[in-house]
Structure 1
Amino acid sequence: MKTTGNTILITGGTAGIGHGLALRLHEAGNKVIIAGRRKELLDQITTEHPGIESIVLDVTDPAAITRAADTLAASHPRLNVLINNAGIMLPENLLDPASLPIAEDHITVNLLGTIRMTYAFLPRLATQADAVVMNITSALAFVPLPITPTYNATKAALHSFSESLRVQLNGTDVQVIEVAPPGVRTTLMDQQNSDNAMPLDEFLTETMTLLGAQPDANEIVVERARFFRHAAANGVYDQALAMLSGVGA
């Protein structure tokens, strides 16, 4: 992925990693469009950061995704990068039937949202030079955090989806990049003040550095996430799972 001169759409661009990436990519010389559900928050961000644009979009709504794809095809015909970042992360008690709607919401937002966005935007991306689909997954795709079972499952599914997408797009100009963060200090799971989570600015700096240094990369995995990403291959999966099994219990 080239790190400048793109036209980029980022879902979930109003907070956390999505917001941070939007600012860093904007500063690097890209046209950035952030997508989110709350117009007032989108307007605040675009006012504070002139040059960033926004679109109201709820990734749980298939019709809204189709409208957004049509709108952006007209307003930004050179859109060449889609960053699927929108997601939720909530704990579940699998012994409590009241947790089932939480599980279903994770699948709708994290998994179906990304799949629907990809289907909606890919035909136009495929006509662009230097096109990219970037899916934000998680190190928990590879070793689960047991208190967030469906979150982990959606991220594992997105890892698999990204692998298949990359193979199907072989021979096209569309690059598929998976970014698998560790726990990062954001409001996701109230980790903004957690000593166990990576500071957001550090994550963004390392991620942008890796993108610049590895333009052809399939995966971007910061150092702090690599233990979990490669736990199975390195024979430490049980140790990694034991570490996460006590978190939040």
Structure 2
Amino acid sequence: MKITGKTALVTGGTDGIGLEIARQLMAKGASVIVCGRREDTLASARSEGFEAIQADLSNAVGCVTLATALADRSIDMLINNAGMSGNFGPGEPLDLALTDQAIFLNLNAPLHLIGHFLPGLMQRPEAVIVNVTSGLAIAPRAGGPVYCATKAGLRSFTQSLRHNLRDTNVHVIEALPPVVDTAMTRGRINGNKMSAKQCAAEIVDAIATNAPEANVGMVKILRMIYSISPALVRRIMIKF
């Protein structure tokens, strides 16, 4: 896709991977709209020149709020990046309210937004939908069962959506990041983490080159090992 002159909507675009994607798309000549929940991060995004919309995508009302705010706009890129962990550790009770919130934000919200924006995307000369899943969509870890389940569900949906839209002007990309240094992983996952800037660069490159997937960073190695022995990858990742 030629990024210059396009309009992109990046959910969860006020911090982390989403903000870096927004910055890099803008640097390549795109007009970028971001959405988020917190007014302080929205204000910061506006100070960088982004159009920023407040919307809580952990429920259907928030998805409608965002779609309504952009009802008269032409969107070329829909980047479903917003997400949350929803984790619970060994021996901890499952917080059902938090679980429902995570399932909606990570899985239902991308589906709702695709439903709202797909008719408009179909009218553009070229358009792209990017669903940000995770390397954990390939094989789960014990410490994040809710997160892994939602990302695996979004991965499956994305693969089917890509097939269904194969003869249209809408290109569908799945982005699978590794562990990235963001607010969501700080204090939860230790060890080496990819920078959000580097992760975003690989996702933006996938958009520019019309790749079907962006296997980011160490996920490339994960995919290679999985192609040889899925059972080995599952044994390794469940303890990660």
Residue in structure 2 matched with residue 185 of structure 1 by the alignment? 181
Q: 2:39 maps to what in 1?
A: 39
1:239 matched to 2:232: yes
Q: Which residue number corresponds to residue 152 of structure 1?
A: 148
In the alignment, what sits opposite 1:162?
A: 158
Task: Verify: 1:143 aligned to 2:139, yes or no.
Answer: yes
User: Which whole-Å CA distance do the structure 2 matches of 1:128 and 1:201 have between them?
Assistant: 29
Q: Which residue of 2 aligns with 1:117?
A: 113
Partner secondary structure for residue 227 of structure 2: coil
- Percent of aligned pairs with the same residue? 33
1:19 alignment counterpart: 19
The separation in 1 between residues aligned to 2:189 and 2:57, in whole angstroms, is 28
**Mapped contact 2:194–2:217 kept (Cα < 8 A):** no
8 Å contact kept, 2:202–2:214? no
Shift of 1:96: 4.0
Q: Does 1:129 align with 2:125?
A: yes
Count residues in correspondence: 240
Amino acid aligned to 2:11: T
- Structure 1 Cα separation of the partners of residues 233 and 214 of structure 2: 20
**Structure 2 residue aligned with 1:172:** 168
- Which ranges of structure 1 fall in alignment gaps of 5 or more residues? none
Contact 2:21 2:201 in 1 (8 A): no
- The reply to whether residue 216 of structure 1 matches residue 210 of structure 2 is yes
Q: How many Å apart are 1:244 and its aligned residue?
A: 2.9
Counterpart amino acid of residue 91 in structure 1: N
Secondary structure of residue in 1 paired with 2:219: helix
Look up the match of 2:223: 229
Cα RMSD (Å)? 2.1
User: What TM-score, normalized to structure 1?
Assistant: 0.87
Code of the residue aligned with 1:221 in structure 2: it is N
Q: CA deviation at 1:182?
A: 0.6
- Report deviation, 1:43: 1.5
How far, CA to CA, are the matches of 1:129 and 1:44 in structure 2? 32
Contact 2:139 2:238 in 1 (8 A): no
Alpha-carbon distance between aligned partners in 2 of 1:99 and 1:229, rounded to the nearest angstrom: 32
Amino acid in the other structure paired with 2:84: I
Determine if contact 1:143/1:228 at 8 Å carries over to the other structure.
Answer: no
Distance 2:188 2:102 in 1: 21
Contact kept? 2:17, 2:197, Cα under 8 Å: no
Q: Is the CA contact 1:59–1:117 (under 8 Å) kept in the aligned structure 2?
A: no
Identify unmatched segments of 5+ residues in structure 2.
Answer: none
Cα distance in 2 for partners of 1:21, 1:192 equals 23
Residues 1:83 and 2:76 aligned together: no
Partner of 2:2: 2
TM-score normalised to the size of structure 2?
0.90
